[in-house]
Amino acid sequence: MEEKHKNENEFQWGKIIRELIQPFIDLFHTSRALFGLNLSYVLEGLTYFGVVGLLAIFFNEFIGLDDIKAGQMVGFLTAGITLAMLFLGATVDWVGVRKAILIALSFMLIGRILLSVSPAMGVPGLWQSAHWIATLGIVGIIIGNGIYQPAAYAGVKKFTSAKTSAMGYAMLYALMNLGGFLPGLISPPLRRAFTITGVFWVYVILTVVGMIVVALIITRKAEKEAIEEAQAEDKALGTPVIDDEEDELSGMSLKEKASFYMRNFPLRDMRFLYFIFILIPVQTLFAHNWLTLPQYTSRAFEGFVSRNFEFFVNLNPILIFILAPIVTAFTARRNTYNMMIIGTFIMGFPTFILAFGPNIYTLMIYLIIMTIGEAMWQPRFLQWVAEIAPKNMTGIYMGIGQFPWFLTKIITALYSGWFLMRYCPADTPPSEMNTEVMWLIYGLIAISSSFGLILARKWMLKGFKTKHEPNK
């Protein structure tokens, strides 16, 4: 028996190690087009997270906005990207992956240039010339990201076969998190040497590098070859089985389909609405990663943490990169809803640890435990949405399931600045701050998601194992 457990543990850890290194192994065995897409994604992840992590402080120090208005500008960017993807995602269907990415990077390049020059070309202050130029820069970045993200995922779909698509998406997610961590290493020395605007100019250069990568590696020929290779592999594996749900819909007229969707529209499903909206409180912690943590770590701390706050702000992506496969391997067989409850609780609970006051130990404990909780529930979210969706409605449920994340960004941006001004004000000695109250309140907000899921458990689990029948 002991030998059996030993073998099982060895197998488990072997599986974890393979999951950790597999994205990098796979990266060098992909088509040229997919390799270029992933390289572009790393550069863009580095640039995006690098800008977002400094944006609130930039609007404070260089544009002359208070914490409330600076937080709103960051919220405008992050929420705007989510909304833009809904309207601009179809660009890739019109022009193809390569052109869509180049168009997206062009908009982001213009936006980042305008953001970088705004302090030198305008007068600081609320809705003064510098603010207007910076806002135009934000709009450019929003438009670019609204095209780039859907194009990247469409590229994975086009450049991989049914057999390799899971690998492709996993690779993209892993490399995105790696890119999100790198600003924590790059930004601090650059910021101390050249200020935040100097860092932004480096990200402008990296955007140009990203465009060159796409233009030279994802050539029209490489794009065509990758698509043909994926199609050939699918053909060799046999014709994919058509989903019964798609079969049922294909026999309906346009009027019948419209009537079907109206009867089963997600907004009429109270159980679904409760589920997605009860997660807003815990999701505020994601938004605080760029709305609160940069100011908190730069103002409430002294010494190493304050000088290198970007490292701590961008620690979550690399922790996700490392911990997600480990957590997934150990919890794969656990009930999805129970993991949602446990995961949201573990993510929200460490916020109370920050209420003990600012020191590097409480900060690190918070970041590590919060990330473990995120790794436990976040991957289960889409799984649950897919399960709760009626037959033939999975796609639209998935789309609307993302809407609360848009609301989370807006809501958190509206109040985070006030809390910073009240409990973590600029130009105030750390000893005179009251950040403990701020994090206590944030913890109470975040933990309410877990209790909401617990209270609704019986209702939510009813009929979970099979998709409920749609209204005919």
pLDDT, residue 239, reads 44
Question: pTM higher than 0.85 for the full model?
Answer: no
123 within a domain of the structure (yes/no) = yes
242 within a domain of the structure (yes/no) = no
344 within a domain of the structure (yes/no) = yes
The CATH number covering residue 35 comes to 1.20.1250.20
Same domain, 186 and 315: no
| Residue type present at position 251 | G
466 within a domain of the structure (yes/no) = yes
Same domain, 199 and 322: no
Per-residue model confidence as pLDDT tens for the chain (472 residues): 555 555 555 555 666 566 556 555 655 667 888 888 888 988 998 999 899 889 999 999 999 999 999 989 998 998 888 888 877 877 877 788 889 999 999 999 999 999 999 999 989 999 999 999 999 999 999 999 988 988 887 787 788 776 666 566 666 766 777 788 888 888 889 998 999 999 999 999 999 999 999 999 988 888 888 888 877 876 776 645 444 444 455 566 677 667 766 776 777 778 888 988 999 999 999 889 888 999 999 999 988 999 888 888 888 888 887 777 677 667 767 788 888 999 999 999 999 999 999 999 999 999 999 989 988 887 777 667 766 777 666 556 766 777 787 788 889 988 999 999 999 998 899 989 999 999 999 999 999 999 999 999 888 877 655 445 555 5
Same domain, 201 and 316: no
Same domain, 127 and 79: yes
Same domain, 218 and 306: no
Burial zone of 343 (CB within 10 Å; 0-12 exposed, 13-18 middle, 19+ buried)? buried
Residues present in the chain in total: 472
- The helix/strand/coil state of 162 is coil
Q: Using the 3D structure, point to which of 234, 253, 275 is the last residue of a domain.
A: 234
- Which distant-in-sequence residues (6+ apart) come within 8 Å of 10 by Cβ? none
User: Count of domains in the chain?
Assistant: 2
Q: Distance between CA atoms of 315 and 318, rounded to whole angstroms?
A: 6
Same domain, 423 and 287: yes
Same domain, 93 and 216: yes
398 within a domain of the structure (yes/no) = yes
pLDDT, residue 32, reads 84
* Encoded tokens for 122: 């305008």
Q: Distance between CA atoms of 51 and 134, rounded to whole angstroms?
A: 13
Same domain, 218 and 87: yes
Q: Using the 3D structure, point to which of 218, 234, 250 is the last residue of a domain.
A: 234
255 within a domain of the structure (yes/no) = no
Same domain, 210 and 289: no
* Domain span at 113: 20-234
Same domain, 385 and 437: yes
Q: Using the 3D structure, point to which of 188, 218, 234 is the last residue of a domain.
A: 234
Same domain, 272 and 183: no
Same domain, 349 and 452: yes
Whether 245 contacts 176, CB under 8 Å: no
244 within a domain of the structure (yes/no) = no
246 within a domain of the structure (yes/no) = no
* Encoded tokens for 330: 């150990």
Residue 402 DSSP class: T
